[in-house]
């Protein structure tokens, strides 16, 4: 697949004409220059820049902000440094799309230009008001010597413009300021608001001592806000960044508007923990009379579920009314070094947008790449009914696997050889995977994929399952991404990532999907029960030198019931 292959619709070509001379100026990184001798040439290779994951042409990107659907267009704002490949000088960059896959960059929507955000325009959310007007509420920094955090609001200058190219900030900003006694440097990231009983509500993340807080603010007019006496919820976890709160139906895969309420609804409360840099969520009930949220699992605040058990943070969901779904967006930072990022001139990507819904068990969310990503698929390559014996592997050929979508269904011949499960790892799948990695022989597994692998396997990233049996005879399924041999380049952070998969494997069947994109591997186990995103930087397995294998390092034979792999075309990506 070459860079000349694009997945463009007529809308994209039309918009390019409309925006000729008006699309945003791409500022080349002030730090980007010839790579110093300490930075490997492979790191700055354009072949490691992702092909179909969201990113701007240059510079630093982090949190997705204020995603919404408006007048036929998806809008994504994001934290962006127009001057370099490290965090700083943050503005709300703005891109639009018809399909959440092909993106066109517009001018930055929100920049530091009023007293209450002159030292920073940090994260926030969008709410569509009853008359159809979008409102953005975001955190501003208003002092030069301290990250004193206040909340501001902005509206479209012309709400008849479907592209929402200009935003204005009313003179009554800020709309919310911290009260005496509150931690003024830990008071940020307002959520999408919801409406009930004549009041709007929204959450703001906070910290009291070591307790993460979801403060509730209420308003009748979306201008004057008052804090509720107690938080929606809190826990001894450290700061809650980027909170998110939304309803999900108890059955079915449809999404709900944030204001929907009723007996057939559960609620999801998510926070991004500053201490761990992971996103956690609980499922529970919400009482809009008492303004209380209660997790279904009494221990859920401390043994919480994660959207993604890999490199995934500061996520945000939104309700897509066009397809009646809730869509999840998240940020994946680099795991190379700061000098590497400066040399290549860019840092950060977003995960592929995911549709999310409640598992029929009610115990967790399910996630799956939005269907639109499938328009990027090229000609399929398939393998079926192939047995992989203990210690064996085979290559999947016939496609450029450095930019691919792979779906595979495995069947284990027998579970009798499952290793005993040590309950000490019940809440630490990552530690277990670090001990029992892809090359550690097992009973049932490890089996899965080697992706972005070199021909001689000196470089490879493993995505795999391993099955254990606990003291009660129940099988425990571990899913891992092991990048410890992903690159020969020095100074890379290469952690194993892992999560348990809550699935019934008594039939011996389990599925895996991996989206491979040059320097990112985004995987979904058991139809989206467990998800892991990992950043990798091969030095040999780059471009057409990247290979794809199925492997089995367990004693029990496995069968590839069906595998289909597609080379992925490059979408329109912000002019890059």
- Report the 10 Å Cβ neighbour count for 220: 11
The pLDDT value given to residue 350: 98
Question: Is 5 inside a domain boundary?
Answer: no
What CATH number should be reported for the domain holding residue 104? 2.115.10.20
How crowded is the C-beta side of 78, counted as CA atoms within 13 Å? 31
| DSSP states of 451-491 | EEE-TTSSS-EEEEEEEEE-TTS-EEEEEEEE-TTS-S-SS
Do 86 and 118 lie in one domain? The reply is: yes
Domain boundary among 321, 344, 369: 369
Q: Which tokens sit at 249?
A: 């139906």
Same domain, 101 and 225: yes
Specify the DSSP class assigned to residue 103: B
Where residue 473 sits, what CATH number does that domain have?
2.60.120.560
Instruction: Please give the full DSSP string across 132-152, using - where no structure is assigned.
Output: S-EEEEEEEE--SSS--EEEE
State the first-to-last Cα distance of the chain, in angstroms, to the nearest integer: 16
Residue 406 shares a structural domain with residue 273: no
219 and 333 in a common domain: yes
Written as six digits, the tokens of 562 are 């069906």
Shared domain for 255 and 333, answered yes or no, is yes
DSSP state, residue 296: S
State residue 9's pLDDT score: 52
Angstrom CA distances, 155 to 135, 159, 189, 328, stand at 5, 8, 17, 23
- Mind listing the pLDDT tens digit for each residue in 193-251? 999 999 999 999 999 999 999 999 999 999 999 999 999 999 999 999 999 999 999 99
467 and 337 inside one domain: no
- Give the per-residue pLDDT at 248: 98
Cα–Cα distance measured from residue 524 to residue 113, given in angstroms and rounded to the nearest whole number: 42
Q: What angle do CA 133, 289, 285 make, to 5 degrees?
A: 90
For residue 356, tell me if it sits in a domain. yes
Cα–Cα distance, 536 to 479 (Å, whole number)? 18
Q: Are 345 and 382 in the same domain?
A: no
- Measured distance CA(268)–CA(246) in Å, rounded: 6
pLDDT tens for each residue of the chain, 576 residues long: 333 334 445 444 445 433 433 333 333 333 334 456 678 999 999 999 999 999 999 999 999 999 999 999 999 999 999 999 999 999 999 999 999 999 999 999 999 999 999 999 999 999 999 999 999 999 999 999 999 999 999 999 999 999 999 999 999 999 999 999 999 999 999 999 999 999 999 999 999 999 999 999 999 999 999 999 999 999 999 999 999 999 999 999 999 999 999 999 999 999 999 999 999 999 999 999 999 999 999 899 998 899 999 999 999 999 999 999 999 999 999 999 999 999 999 999 999 999 999 999 999 999 999 999 999 999 999 999 999 999 999 999 999 999 999 999 999 999 999 999 999 999 999 999 999 999 999 999 999 999 999 999 999 999 999 999 999 999 999 999 999 999 999 889 999 999 999 999 999 999 999 999 999 999 999 999 999 999 999 999 999 999 999 999 999 999 999 999 999 999 999 998
Domain boundary among 339, 369, 399: 369
In a domain, 2, yes or no: no
**Distance from C-alpha of 520 to C-alpha of 315, rounded to nearest angstrom:** 17
- Whose CA is closest to 320, among 527, 124, 67, 130? 67
CA distance 41 to 487: 13
The answer to whether 64 and 78 have CB atoms below 8 angstroms apart is yes
Q: Check whether residue 339 and residue 411 sit in a common domain.
A: no
Domain span at 208: 10-369
Q: Quick one: pLDDT at residue 36?
A: 63
C-beta of residue 508 within 8 angstroms of C-beta of residue 445: no
Which of 307, 334, 369 is the endpoint of a domain? 369
Model-level pTM? Answer: 0.94
Residues 357 and 387 reside in one and the same domain: no
Are 314 and 279 within 8 A, CB to CB? yes
Segment 503-522, tens digit of pLDDT:
999 999 999 999 999 999 99
Q: Residues 83, 205: one domain? A: yes
Kindly report the backbone phi and psi dihedral angles of residue 489, in degrees, each rounded to the nearest multiple of 5, phi listed first.
-70, 145
Q: For residues 200 and 259, what is the distance between their CA atoms, to the nearest angstrom?
A: 9
Domain assignment of residue 292, yes or no: yes
Please indicate, yes or no, whether residues 266 and 413 belong to a single structural domain of this protein: no
Q: How many CA atoms lie within 13 A of 451 on its CB side?
A: 33
Catalytic site includes residue 142: no
The 10 Å CB-count burial string (b at 16+, else e) for 309-333 is bbbbbbbbbbbbeebebbbbbbbbb
Task: Please indicate, yes or no, whether residues 354 and 394 belong to a single structural domain of this protein.
Answer: no
For the stretch 181-206, pLDDT in tens is: 999 999 999 999 999 999 999 999 99
Q: How many structural domains does the chain have?
A: 2
Q: Are 317 and 329 in contact (CB under 8 A)?
A: yes
CA distances, 353 to each of 6, 43, 490, 509, 535 (Å): 19, 26, 31, 27, 17
CB-CB contact of 556 with 444 (8 Å):
yes
Separation CA 234–CA 277 (nearest Å): 18
How many percent of the chain have pLDDT more than 70? Answer: 94
Assess if residue 360 is contained within a domain.
Answer: yes
Q: Within 10 A of 135 (CB to CB), how many other CB atoms are there?
A: 19
Secondary structure class of 13 (helix, strand, coil): helix
Q: How far apart are CA 152 and CA 536, in angstroms?
A: 37
Contact in structure between 451 and 472 (CB atoms under 8 Å):
no
Q: Residue 310 has what DSSP assignment?
A: S
Q: Is residue 4 part of a domain?
A: no
Q: Could you give the CA distance from residue 260 to residue 192 in angstroms, rounded to a whole number?
A: 13
Which pLDDT does position 303 carry in this prediction?
85
pLDDT in tens, 436-462: 999 999 999 999 999 999 999 999 999
Q: Rg (Cα) of the chain, in Å, rounded?
A: 23
> Does residue 575 belong to any structural domain of this protein?
no
Assess if residue 224 is contained within a domain: yes
């Amino acid at each position: 697949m070459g860079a000349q292959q694009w997945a463009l619709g007529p809308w994209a070509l039309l918009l390019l004409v409309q925006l000729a001379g008006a699309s945003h100026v791409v500022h080349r990184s002030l730090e980007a220059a010839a790579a110093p001798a300490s930075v490997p040439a492979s790191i700055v290779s354009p072949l490691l820049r992702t092909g179909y994951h969201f990113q701007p042409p240059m510079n630093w990107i982090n949190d997705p902000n204020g995603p919404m659907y408006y007048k036929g267009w998806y809008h994504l704002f994001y934290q962006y440094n127009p001057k370099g490949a490290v965090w700083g000088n943050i503005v709300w960059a703005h891109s639009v799309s018809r399909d959440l896959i092909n993106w066109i960059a517009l001018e930055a929507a929100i920049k530091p230009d009023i007293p209450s955000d002159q030292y920073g325009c940090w994260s926030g959310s969008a709410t569509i008001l009853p008359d159809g007007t979008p409102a953005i509420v975001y955190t501003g920094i208003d002092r030069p010597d301290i990250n004193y955090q206040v909340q501001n609001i902005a509206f479209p200058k012309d709400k008849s413009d479907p592209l929402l190219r200009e935003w204005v900030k009313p003179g009554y900003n800020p709309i919310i300021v911290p009260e005496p006694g509150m931690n003024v440097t830990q008071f940020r990231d307002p959520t999408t608001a919801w409406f009930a009983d004549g009041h709007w509500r929204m959450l703001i993340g906070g910290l009291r001592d070591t307790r993460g807080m979801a403060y509730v603010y209420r308003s009748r007019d979306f201008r004057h806000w008052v804090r509720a006496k107690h938080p929606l919820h809190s826990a001894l976890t450290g700061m809650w960044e980027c909170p998110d709160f939304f309803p999900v139906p108890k059955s079915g895969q449809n999404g709900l508007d944030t204001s929907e309420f009723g007996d057939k609804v559960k609620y999801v409360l998510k926070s991004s923990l500053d201490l761990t840099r992971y996103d956690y969520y609980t499922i529970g009930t919400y009482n809009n009379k008492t303004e209380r949220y209660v997790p279904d699992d009494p221990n859920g605040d401390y043994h919480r579920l994660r959207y993604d058990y890999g490199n995934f943070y500061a996520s945000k969901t939104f309700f897509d009314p066009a397809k009646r779904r809730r869509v999840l967006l998240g940020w994946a930072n680099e795991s190379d070094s700061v000098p590497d990022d400066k040399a290549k001139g860019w840092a950060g990507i977003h995960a592929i947008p995911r549709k999310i819904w409640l598992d029929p068990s009610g115990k967790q969310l399910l996630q799956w790449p939005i269907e639109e990503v499938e328009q990027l698929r090229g000609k399929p390559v398939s393998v079926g009914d192939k047995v992989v014996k203990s210690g064996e592997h085979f290559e999947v050929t016939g496609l450029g696997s450095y930019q691919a979508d792979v779906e595979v269904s495995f069947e284990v011949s027998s579970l009798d050889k499952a290793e005993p499960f040590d309950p000490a790892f019940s809440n630490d799948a990552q530690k277990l995977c670090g001990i029992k990695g892809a090359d550690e022989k097992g009973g049932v597994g490890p089996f899965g994929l080697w992706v972005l692998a070199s021909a001689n396997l000196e470089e490879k990233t493993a995505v795999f399952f391993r099955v254990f049996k606990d003291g009660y005879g129940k099988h425990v399924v571990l899913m891992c991404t092991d990048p410890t041999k992903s690159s020969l380049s020095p100074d890379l952070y290469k952690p194993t990532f892992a999560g348990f998969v809550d699935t019934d494997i008594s039939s011996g069947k389990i599925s895996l999907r991996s989206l491979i994109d040059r320097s990112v591997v985004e995987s979904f186990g058991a139809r989206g029960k467990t998800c892991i995103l990992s950043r990798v930087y091969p030095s040999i397995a780059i471009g057409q030198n990247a290979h794809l294998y199925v492997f089995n390092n367990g004693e029990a034979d496995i069968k590839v019931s069906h595998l289909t792999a597609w080379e992925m075309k490059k979408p329109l990506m912000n002019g890059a």
